[in-house]
Amino acid sequence: MEKFEIIQSGAVPLPIENIDTDQIIPARFLKSTSREGFGENLFRDWRYDNSGNPKADFALNNPRYSGQILVAGKNFGCGSSREHAAWAIYDAGFRVVISSYFADIFRGNALNNGLLPLQVSDQMLQRLFEQIEKDPQTELVVNLPEQEFYVPAWDERVTFDIDLYKKECLINGYDDIDFLVSQKEAIEAYESTRPWAY
């Protein structure tokens, strides 16, 4: 996993609520047996029409917007547990998703892949949408070690929460497997306490 520290970039707005992982990456594109290449089909059915031409009114196709930060409506990533959704977003060049609410499985999947799910209040999300609408070039600075993001246009710093262990993992590029494998003895000791049925 790539290390994550500070991201300074423009943002792409998707002011739609309840974006489910079927929209992020439709099931028919889940047939690959590797992790790469899903970015191509990110938001496939919103991004392209039936003949595969980009839809001009979709934010990802709009040259006004660019950057490594996706700003999306409440309850982002609900539905299917497919980790391919996090892979697709990462593969398309994003490192941060900002929303006022994340579905649990998506949040975990994102963190396991170096993609930061950054939760803000509903009001803050609204302000961000308005700001980006007003000035598509708006830059945001996401500082993970300090757990804050900075909006230069407002000269305002906003703190955010993240699990400390997950924060360390992101900053150092570690993942849970390394840690869990190191727990082998404790796990075996635990197993010996459950002798029957299971």
Partner 1 sequence: MKQTLFDKIWDAHVVRSIPGGLDVFYIDRHLIHEVTSPQAFDEIEARNLPLFRKDKIVATADHNVPTKNQHLPIQEPLSRLQVDKLTENCNKYGVELFGLGHQNQGIVHVIGPELGITQPGMTIVCGDSHTSTHGAFGAIAFGIGTSQVAQVMASQCLLLSKPKKMRITIDGPLHKGVSAKDLILYVISKLGTGGATGYFVEYAGSAIRSLSMEGRMTVCNMSIEMGARGGMIAPDETTFDYVKGREHAPKGEQWEQALAYWKTLYTEEGATFDKEYFFDASDITPMITFGTNPGMGIPISSSIPVNVPTGEAASFDKSLQYMGFAPGESLIGKEINYVFIGSCTNSRIEDLRIVADFVKGRQKASHVEAIIVPGSKHVEQQAIAEGLDKLLAEAGFELREPGCSACLAMNEDKIPAGAYCVSTSNRNFEGRQGPGSRTLLASPLVAAITAVEGKIVDITQYLN
Q: Which residues sit at the interface with partner 1, rule CB under 8 A? A: 15-18, 20, 22-23, 26-28, 30-35, 45, 50, 73-75, 78-84, 86, 101-105, 108-109, 112-113, 122, 163-165, 175-177, 179-181, 183-184, 186-187, 190-191, 196-198
Determine the Cα–Cα distance for residues 67 and 137; give it in Å rounded to an integer.
9
Q: What is the distance, to the nearest Å, from the Cα of residue 156 to the centroid of all Cα atoms in its chain?
A: 23
The Cα 173–Cα 35 span in angstroms is 17
Residue 189 CB, nearest approach to partner 1 (Å): 8
Least separation in angstroms between residue 142's CB and partner 1 is 21
Structure tokens at 184: 């082998």
CB of 147 to partner 1, least distance (A): 14
Tell me whether residue 36 or residue 155 sits nearer to partner 1 (CB atom).
36
Of 148 and 178, which has the nearer Cβ to partner 1?
A: 178
Q: Cβ of residue 179: shortest distance to partner 1, in angstroms?
A: 7
Q: Which is nearer to partner 1, 109 or 131 (CB)?
A: 109
Taking the least distance from each CB to partner 1, the nearer of 102 and 160 is: 102
